[in-house]
């Protein structure tokens, strides 16, 4: 199961688009529809979707050309893309994957298969959008229960009280450990691409997050990388544990 995601369906056949939207809604997602690549680009200019379902055969710009254009743009290059097509030849699949698609599903397909593919690409590309438990350095974050815990040992655990934004921030950082995230990137991924607030807001919430983590001596896991942004790292903690 995954958390609710905004999924952009780029499909020019109204009946197929409607069926996809209904199945995605039933699974708890928020479907957005576009009937062409050009319309999809206009939608994406306003709000970044979490996943793109793109039909190969679109009027005007093809689905493969759209995938290639999205991968070439720094703002959209990380969005998971699944190509939908009736073309099942190996050469077609290779062409679609080479264009930047994360997965490829041949029509006709079952709703269960589609949802499984969506979960798979989210796990690979955007683990913060799944409800799977993330554990690192004694900390654990469970999106399904909205709880953050610090485990002193196998039996004893302390719950860490976090505000909604601090919880999302910790979840995102732990889902992408050891990477440096700029303030702008954190605003896009945690607050949303369409939210226009100052980058200093990130610093305020990082400070609150560290204050909460300091109660379990874990504030040092959220590192400041001078001139670049922030990083979650459990390496120092692991080194201390091995030395002990």
Residue-wise pLDDT tens digits, 65-121: 999 999 998 778 888 899 988 766 666 667 767 777 888 888 888 888 888 888 888
CATH number at residue 15: 3.40.50.2300
CA dihedral over 11, 12, 14, 15, signed as positive or negative: negative
**pLDDT more than 90, % of the chain:** 37
- Residue 1: inside a domain, yes or no? no
Q: CB within 8 A of 12, min separation 6: which ones? A: 35, 36, 55, 57, 58, 59
Q: Which pLDDT score is estimated for 1?
A: 42
Domain of 165, in residue numbers = 134-243
Q: How many domains would you assign to the chain?
A: 2
Residue 161 in contact with residue 212, Cβ under 8 Å? yes
Torsions phi, psi for 186 (to 5 deg) = -65, -40
pTM of the full structure: 0.58
* Token digits of residue 37: 């690549």
Distance CA(43)–CA(27), nearest Å, equals 22
Q: How confident is the model at residue 14 (pLDDT cuts 50, 70, 90)?
A: very high
CA 135, 136, 139 angle in degrees (round to 5)? 75
Distance CA(174)–CA(7), nearest Å, equals 24
Q: Which pLDDT score is estimated for 128?
A: 54
User: Same domain for 57 and 23?
Assistant: yes
């Amino acid at each position: 199961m995954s958390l609710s995601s905004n999924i952009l369906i780029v499909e020019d056949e109204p009946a197929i688009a409607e069926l996809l939207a209904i199945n995605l809604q039933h699974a708890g997602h928020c479907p957005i529809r576009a009937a062409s690549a050009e319309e999809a680009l206009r939608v994406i200019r306003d709000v970044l979707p979490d996943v793109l379902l793109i039909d190969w055969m679109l009027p005007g710009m093809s689905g493969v050309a759209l995938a290639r254009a999205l991968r070439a743009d720094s703002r959209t290059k990380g969005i998971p893309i699944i190509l939908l097509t009736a073309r099942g030849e190996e050469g077609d699949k290779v062409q679609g994957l080479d264009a930047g698609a994360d997965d490829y599903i041949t029509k006709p397909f079952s709703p269960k298969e589609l949802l499984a593919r969506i979960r798979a690409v989210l796990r690979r590309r955007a683990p913060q959008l799944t409800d799977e438990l993330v554990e690192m350095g004694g900390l654990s974050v469970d999106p399904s229960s909205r709880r953050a815990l610090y485990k002193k040992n196998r039996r004893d655990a302390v719950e860490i009280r976090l505000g909604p934004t601090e919880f999302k921030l910790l979840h995102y950082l732990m889902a992408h450990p050891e990477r440096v995230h700029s303030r702008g990137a954190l605003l896009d991924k945690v607050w949303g691409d369409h939210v226009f607030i100052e980058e200093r807001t990130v610093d305020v919430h990082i400070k609150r997050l560290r204050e909460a983590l300091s109660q379990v001596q874990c504030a040092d896991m959220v590192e400041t990388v001078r001139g670049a942004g922030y990083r979650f790292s459990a390496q120092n903690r692991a080194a201390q544990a091995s030395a002990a």
